[in-house]
Amino acid sequence: MSERNTILRSLHDLGAAAWFGGSLMGCVGLNGAAGSEGGTERDTARIAATGWKRWAPVNAGAIAAHLIGGAGILAANAARVKSQQGVAASTIAKTVVTAAAMAATAYSGVLGAKIALASSDDPAHREKSGKHPLDLDQAQKHLAVVQWLLPVLTGAIVVLNAVHGEQQRPSQQKKGMAKKMLSRTW
């Protein structure tokens, strides 16, 4: 079996990059443009919701690529995770942050969909949103917080990936494995 995992690493890294970049651009560019061009609160919400809805399938693909690549890399490095001190801890941290980012992404999608229905000009959408009353102002405040949380969480994923990269240096592997063996003997 090859020791190179170029395809898995590419899926993992490109997925994380798109997830991070898309969330940051959405907060800064899309929401900013909607705020400038919307005119009314309803139009601003409608413009932003339309943009985020168009990004959602690409974002889902990015997340899937990141997860597939990450699972493959983890499988390929399972022995190192077990035997090199610090690798399991950084892997657990990255898994927790990734799960939090996925939860924030899902919550953002749910809030965005509800806001889109409530701000739509389509009477059928407005009627549907009336069946599930929503405090639009409160939902938009929650959405703003969650949308800004996403670049923070996905940025942390990128940083933790850099930590993993550093841990793969031969000098770090030798030092980490020696420390792990010494800790088992004491």
CA diameter of the chain: 71
Q: CA nearest 146: which of 108, 103, 101?
A: 108
Q: Tell me: the pLDDT tens digits for 131-140?
A: 666 677 888 8
Flag the least confident range among 38-47, 105-114, 116-125. 116-125
- The token duo for 155 is 């940025």
Residue 172's pLDDT is 53
Mean pLDDT of 159-173: 79
Task: Say whether pLDDT at 3 is over 80.
Answer: no
Q: Tell me: the pLDDT tens digits for 13-45?
A: 999 999 999 999 999 999 999 999 988 888 898
Q: Tell me: the pLDDT tens digits for 68-101?
A: 999 999 999 998 888 888 889 999 999 999 999 9
Task: Say whether pLDDT at 157 is over 90.
Answer: yes
Q: Tell me: the pLDDT tens digits for 41-68?
A: 888 988 999 999 999 999 999 999 999 9
C-alpha 149/C-alpha 103 separation (Å) is 11
Q: Where are the domains of the chain?
A: 6-174
